Amino acid sequence: MKEEQSIGSLIFDIFTNIMSMIVGIILGGFTMVAIMTYSVVVSGCVVMNLWAWFMVPLGLPVLGYLQSAGISLIPIYLTRGGEITKNKYDKVNKTMVCAVLLRPWLILLTGFILYSILELY
């Protein structure tokens, strides 16, 4: 009787661990998709504004949002996804996540400051 409980407990523990891993993989996948979507949306906005500020005055055509979002994907593709870790064993920490989320906005702010300076002259 005691062996049945321990075998049942062992099977339950294995099942619980497997289910936890499956839920973690699913949530991790959704999180990755959400971060990638955020990145494309924000990058498109940043590229569209920077293009309008610096390239349109040179005579190039205005870019729409979707064109800007597409152009923002080119460097990601060329740099193999913008890897933020040095090797596959590095853990992603809060600083790296903040860098990924805040980088486009800091680039836009820098571009806006440059644009404002150019407008003064």
The tens digit of pLDDT for each residue in 17-61 reads 999 999 988 998 888 888 878 888 888 899 999 999 999 999 999
pLDDT digits (tens, 9 = 90+) for 72-107: 877 766 775 555 555 555 666 677 777 777 878 888
- How many domains does the structure of the chain reveal? 1
Query: Is position 55 within any domain?
Result: yes
Query: Is position 41 within any domain?
Result: yes
Query: Is position 98 within any domain?
Result: yes
Question: How far is it, in rounded angstroms, from Cα 13 to Cα 5?
Answer: 12
pLDDT digits (tens, 9 = 90+) for 105-121: 888 888 888 888 878 87
- Domain limits for position 110: 35-120
Tell me which DSSP letter residue 64 carries. -
Question: How far is it, in rounded angstroms, from Cα 102 to Cα 38?
Answer: 11
Instruction: Enumerate residues 6+ apart whose C-beta is below 8 A from 44.
Output: 65, 66, 68, 69, 70, 72
Query: Is position 21 within any domain?
Result: no
Give 1's pLDDT tier (boundaries 50, 70, 90).
very low
Residue 51 exposure: Cα atoms within 13 Å on the Cβ side: 18
pTM of the model: 0.61
